[in-house]
Amino acid sequence: MAFLAERLLFLGVGGFLILWLWQRYRWQRQQEQLETTFYDLLAHQKGKITLIQLVAKSRIDPEVARSFLREKAQLFGAIIESDPQGHDYYQFPPI
């Protein structure tokens, strides 16, 4: 009986470790994809990036992209502006 309990514990811990490693791998790939997309948009949009552009191009969850964009805005000193139609965008300084 103790042998079975040890096996189940080992399988449970192993499964948890595999799941954790998989989620970490996916998060890292998502961050790399966001970074690449962000700098691509930054160059092609002359520093003017909307959340929808980042989401559409990176195909990342909007909340993840929003958080990422806010962090980059704070890091680079971007400001939020609105176009004549009332759409908000981040204006980053020239690179």
Average pLDDT, the chain: 89
Top-confidence residue, 80 or 15 = 80
pLDDT tens track for 18-57: 888 888 988 899 889 999 999 999 999 999 999 999 999 9
Mean pLDDT of 81-91: 91
CA distance 87 to 45: 15
Residue 60 φ/ψ region, left for φ over 0, alpha for ψ in the -120 to 50 degree band, beta for the rest? beta
Q: At which residue do the structure tokens 């499964």 appear?
A: 15
pTM above 0.85, yes or no: no
Q: Does the structure show a pLDDT above 90 at 17?
A: no
**pLDDT above 70 covers what percent of the chain?**
99
